[in-house]
Amino acid sequence: MVRITDKQPSVLRSLDWWTVAIYIALLIFGWVSVCGASYTYGDTDIFSLSTRSGMQIVWIGTSLFLGLVLLLLDDRFYDTFSYVIYGILLLLLFLTIFNPHEIKGSRSWLVLGPLRLQPAEFAKFATALAIAKLMGSYGFNIHRWKDFAAACGVVLLPMLFIVAQKETGSALVYLSFFLMFYREGMPGSILFTGVAMIVYFVVGIKFESVSLLHTPTSLGVFIVILLIQTFSSVMVNVYCRNKKLMYYMLGGSFGGTLLALLFSLYVLPFNIVWVQLIITAVIIVYLLVEWLRTRFSNYFFILAFTIGSIAFFYSADYVLNNVLEPHQRVRINVLLGLDDDLSGAGYNVHQSEIAIGSGGLQGKGFLNGTQTKLKFVPEQDTDFIFCTVGEEEGFLGSAGVLLLFLLLILRLIHLAERQPFAFGRIYGYCVLSIFLFHVFINVGMVLGLTPVIGIPLPFFSYGGSSLWGFTLLLFIFLRIDAGRNLVRMD
């Protein structure tokens, strides 16, 4: 039941106006950037609906109206209808798979006359609501594998539907929910395992063809297996408090590998990886024996980590060459420096870097960018819009935009931490994680630091779907936060 105090604060009074101010500032700077990116020499009216800058004003206006509507709804509406909203969006995602309209190789868009909508953008807030409802329910414990698996299922199901739409970039955004899981108590080992897999993939692929000191040994494979042995050894000390075993494992790994290297260099050249694999097999057997002897489950998890790491690494090359699409494979090779391809997959990033670099400290000024005005950068008003900021506003303008996003992230952390109920806190961290992922990956891919996966920069990239999707995410949380002072009693 809900007990209402004598004086309940109104929504506008309880609303976090600092976050609203940051939102408005991002919308303004976003429109200026869209205008600069889409402007063509000779245009006389940047406010015309026939231009992208004019249409973006429409999307901004409708987003503000949408935000107002979201604030007028009772905050309990989002909690009560979380699963219903999630179910509707899942159905929409599933139906979109069979969409006959294919745009740029993707079936993720629904075409309704002149209007194009991307359900994947709206599924983010629906998934955030559903996961907050599930994890905020009585008795949920993230440390129970059954509960954690259910939470992962809520996140992975829309991911599968989006991948089936050939929209891998949008699907990867859902991995950001694991940051929220970590905040809510997910073991750090799971997050570490994900990071370790990325390290294995990057190091293994990048240095696969490099020879170790002129021996028949791949430097990439050598480093990765040594990392697996080191990680497993350190985890024995961290999670099993067995420092002695850690020293044995590290000594055996590095000592055996060093002897094999010296033998290969000065006696008989051979592939040292075979010795490393034998040492790893011994470690696996020893971990298995320790688990069976002590029945301490942490030994089993480290054992699974070691075996899984080896399996993942040796399957990575197969996935890269046989599972990924050719354009995705080329993008990864370009990112890792294995292939320049400045006229193909690397063209976007190369031109974007030129545009950002040409802006200098203060930029060339509004509508004065040359790379963007002459349309050298593809998708410069959507996925690569940050290069327009760098060219026209320079380093100072780019730093200002990133500072605004940082302020938004810090504000969201503050709002999430002050929520009196798990539902609001979990939803807030979902919103925070999604924004953080989008900003980090989008800016990173424009600078050539992360793979080009085609996701928008919040409030900057042109388009109604992304702008509405981010507005839904943010304003639902603002409405939940505005109702935090309502005293609820069971």
Per DSSP, the residues of 27-38 read HHHHHHHHHHHH
Choosing from 324, 341, 370, the residue where a domain stops is 324
Please check whether residue 2 lies inside any domain of the structure.
no
Looking at residue 2, its pLDDT comes to 42
pLDDT value at residue 44: 64
* Owning domain of residue 334: 12-195+329-483
Residues 278 and 136 in one domain: no
Q: How many domains does the chain have?
A: 2
pLDDT in tens, the chain (490 residues): 344 444 556 777 889 999 999 999 999 999 998 888 887 766 667 777 778 888 899 999 999 999 999 999 988 899 999 999 999 999 999 988 887 666 666 677 777 666 778 888 899 999 999 999 999 998 899 989 899 999 999 999 999 999 888 787 888 899 999 999 999 989 888 888 888 998 898 888 888 888 888 888 999 899 999 999 999 999 999 999 889 999 999 999 999 999 999 999 988 899 999 999 999 999 999 999 999 998 888 899 999 999 999 999 888 877 777 766 666 676 676 666 665 555 555 677 778 788 888 888 888 888 777 777 667 777 777 888 888 888 888 899 999 999 999 999 999 999 999 999 999 999 999 999 999 999 999 998 888 787 777 789 999 998 888 999 999 999 999 999 998 776 444 4
- Residue 488 is assigned to a structural domain of this protein: no
3-state secondary structure 54-71: HHHHHHHHHHHHHHHHHH
Q: Do 449 and 373 belong to one domain?
A: yes
* Angstrom distance (rounded) from CA 465 to CA 487: 35
Residue indicated by tokens 């599968």: 160
The answer to whether residues 423 and 79 touch, using CB atoms and an 8 Å cutoff, is yes
Q: Which long-range contacts (CB under 8 A, 24 or more apart) does 253-256 make?
A: 253/226, 253/229, 253/279, 253/283, 254/226
**Same domain, yes or no: 25 and 107:** yes
Cα separation of 40 and 252, whole Å?
65
Nearest to 384 by CA among 102, 40, 36: 36
pLDDT for 214 equals 83
At residue 489, the pLDDT reads 45
pLDDT value, residue 1? 39
Q: What is the pLDDT of residue 465?
A: 87
Residue in 415, 440, 445 with CA at minimum distance from that of residue 430: 415
Q: Domain check: are 310 and 252 in the same one?
A: yes
Among 267, 295, 324, the domain-final residue is: 324
Work out the number of other CB atoms within 10 angstroms of the CB of residue 368: 13
The pTM of the full predicted model, rounded to 2 decimals, is: 0.85
What's residue 344's pLDDT? 56
Residues 152 and 52 in one domain: yes
Last residue of a domain, one of 289, 307, 324: 324
Decide if 490 is inside a domain.
Answer: no
Distance in angstroms (rounded) separating the CA atoms of residues 120 and 166: 11
Measured distance CA(269)–CA(274) in Å, rounded: 12
